[in-house]
Structure 1
C-alpha cells in the first residue's frame, strides 16, 4: 500500500500543498516548527479520521472554515481516492466520492504504523497511553474489535450511570446491574482474547527485530496485563459490586488493562534510556508492519517523526536497512541528513519544508 499523491487544504499551517510521494523512503527535512510533524499528522488523520493529540477544530488553519485532506491510495494495484473534510459542523469522510458514515467502515482504507513524539510515552507513560496505542492498531486490522470496543465503552457508561443512581438510593435492586454486568463480562472476554493474541504475535518477532536494529543480545518482549485474571469474569465483577457502588464507577475491566515492555527480564520503564526506548518502539513498529502484511496482505505506510534523534549513525543506517527490507512506503521527518548514507538518499525522495510549504529537491551527494 502506498500514498501516491496527497493534497492538504487549510490543514494546520498548510494553505494548499500537493505532494507526489515515492514508493520507498521519503525524507521530509526542515527546521523545527516549519510543519514536518503537521504533514505526518495529516496522513494520520486521513487514516484514522481523528488526530492523535488534538480536537478536530485545532486542525483547521487559522481564520479558515474547513480543512481538507485528499489522497490517492494504491493497494495491490487498486486505487482509492480518500477525502476527509473537517469543519465546525463535523467531519465528512469519502472513499471514491462516496460518503462513509461509520468509522468502522472507513478505517482500513489506509493502513499506517507510526512513530510520533507522543509514542515516547508508550513505555514510561500511563496505561491509558498504551491501551490507546494498541487499540488503534487492532482497530485498523480488525473491524469486529473496533465494534466490540465501542460496545464495551457504551456498556461501561451505562453501568457507571446505574451505579451512581444505586449509590444514592436506599433500596437497591441488583437485577439490572446483573444484566449489564453479564453483557460487560462477555465483551471483556472478547477484548482480552484479542489483546492477548496480538501480544503473543508480537513476541514471536520482536526479539529478532530489536536485534537487527541494535545488534544487541538482549531479551525483549511485551506482556499483556489484564485487570481481571480470573476465569469467570462475570463472577469476579459481581464480587466487586460493593466497591463499585461506593465509587460509583466500574473499577475492573478492559479499560483498566495494561501492557509492560520487558528488557532483560526487567520492566523497561524502570531502567532504560531514551535511546533504548526509542529503539524498542521502532522495533515494535517493524513487527506491527509485518502483522498487517500477514493479516491484510498489504504493507502499511510508516510514519516516522524525528526518528533519528538519539540514534547514532550506525543505528540510523541499520533502521533504514530494516525499512528497505520491508518494501514499505516510509515517510521520515528529520532536521538534516548529514549522517544518512548516500545510498538511502539516492534511492529515496527528499522534500524540504519551509514555512508551511514542502518542495521536492534533488540529492547532490
Structure 2
C-alpha cells in the first residue's frame, strides 16, 4: 500500500472555506483561529477528498455545499506525495449525482486510497455509551486494514437485510427461503467474527503502551469482543439461526449475529463504560486511536494522515504537553486545530511545525 501525505489543498464551494491554496508540511500542521472560522472544515475537506465521506454523522453533499456557491458542485484540488516521494496533482469534482477523480489532469476510475484517521475526544462519549457506535468504530477501522473484511461485511449486510425483509413481510414459504440462505449468513458471520478477534488481539498490546506514552501513566487496557458465536463452527452458527427462527419470526428481525456484537474496554480489569471517570474514558479512547495508528504502521509500513480536532477542552495542560511530545516523536502527518490560546502556546513550541491561520474561511498569511 502506498502512503500519502497532502502538501497543498484548494477547495471551491465547500462550506465556508474560500478557494485559498493551503500549504501543509509533512509533519505537524497547526490550524489556528477563533471558533466558527473554518478550522474543522479544513479537516473535513481532507476527509471528504480521501473517503468521499464526512466524519460528521448524517452529512452529505447538500450540507457540504457553500451557501454562496454559484454552481452546485464542489472542487477539491490537491497536491499529494506518495511514499516514494513522487508528487502528483489529485482533483475531485463532486456533485449531488456523482464524484469524478483526476490524477495529474487525467480522469481515473477510482479515487486514490488515501488513509485518514479523524480524532475528536467528544466521540469518546458515543463510543462509551452506544454499542452501535462501538460496532461502527471497529468496522470502520478494521475495514481500513483489511479489504476482505470490508467486502465480506458488505455481503453480510446485504444478506442480513434480505433475511430481515423476509422476517418482517413473511411472504409465501419465507421460512424455506431463510433456511436456504442461512448457510451463506453463517459463513459470513464466522469470517467476520474471527477477523474481529484477530484485530482486537493485535490491538491489545499496543493500547496500554500508547496510554503510557501519551499520559505517562501505566494502566492495563484491554478490549474484548462480546459475541455469542465466538469459537463456533459455521455449522453451529447455522444451527443457532435455525433454533432462533421462530422467535425471529415473532420479532420480525434477526436476533443473533455480528450485527448484534458488542465490545468491552477494560481499564485495570474494570469495564470502562461503567467504572471510569469521563477523563479516563477520553484518555482511553485517545489511546485506542493512537494504538490503531501504530497497528496500521506495523501492517503497511506507513502511516495514515491524522486529523485532530481541538482536544484542548478535553485534556488538562499537563496532558496537552504529553500529547504534543508524543506527536513530535511520530512520523505521521498531523493536522491539529485549536482556538485555545494556552494550547496554541504548547503547539508553538513544536520545532518545525507549520502554522496555518484562518479567519472567516480565509487563510491569513
Runs of 4+ in 1 over 6 A off after TM superposition: none
Corresponding residue of 2:61: 56
Corresponding residue of 1:204: 205
Q: Matches of 1:41 and 1:157 in 2, distance apart? A: 31
Corresponding residue of 2:325: 321
Shift of 1:129: 1.1
Over aligned residues, Cα RMSD in angstroms?
A: 2.1
Scaled by the length of structure 1, the TM-score of the pair is 0.89
| Residue aligned with 1:196, SS | helix
Give the number of equivalent residue pairs. Answer: 352
1:320 and 1:344 in contact (8 A); partners too:
no
Corresponding residue of 1:363: none
Deviations 1:129-155 (A, max 9, x none): 112222221222222221111111111
Corresponding residue of 1:19: 22
- Confirm whether residue 68 of structure 1 aligns to residue 75 of structure 2: yes
Deviations 1:17-46 (A, max 9, x none): 321101111111112111111111111112
Q: Matches of 2:364 and 2:331 in 1, distance apart? A: 24
1:72 and 1:82 in contact (8 A); partners too:
yes
Deviations 1:157-196 (A, max 9, x none): 1111122232x65xx4633212221101111111111111
2:307 and 2:334 in contact (8 A); partners too:
yes
Comparing 346-355 with 113-122, which one deviates more in the overlay? 113-122
Q: Matches of 1:350 and 1:291 in 2, distance apart? A: 29
Comparing 275-284 with 115-124, which one deviates more in the overlay? 115-124
- Confirm whether residue 45 of structure 1 aligns to residue 48 of structure 2: yes
- Confirm whether residue 98 of structure 1 aligns to residue 99 of structure 2: no
Q: Matches of 2:103 and 2:188 in 1, distance apart? A: 31
Structure 1 residues 136-285: aligned runs within 5 Å: 136-166=140-170, 172=173, 174-229=175-230, 231=232, 232-285=236-289
Match of 1:348 among 334, 349, 353: 353
Shift of 1:63: 4.7
Q: Matches of 2:216 and 2:140 in 1, distance apart? A: 30
| Residue aligned with 1:205, SS | helix
Q: Are residues 118 and 312 of structure 1, via their aligned partners in 2, closer, same or farther at CA, if it must alter by over 3 Å? A: closer
| Residue aligned with 1:249, SS | coil
Scaled by the length of structure 2, the TM-score of the pair is 0.89
Deviations 1:40-67 (A, max 9, x none): 1111112221113212221111153112
Shift of 1:353: 1.7
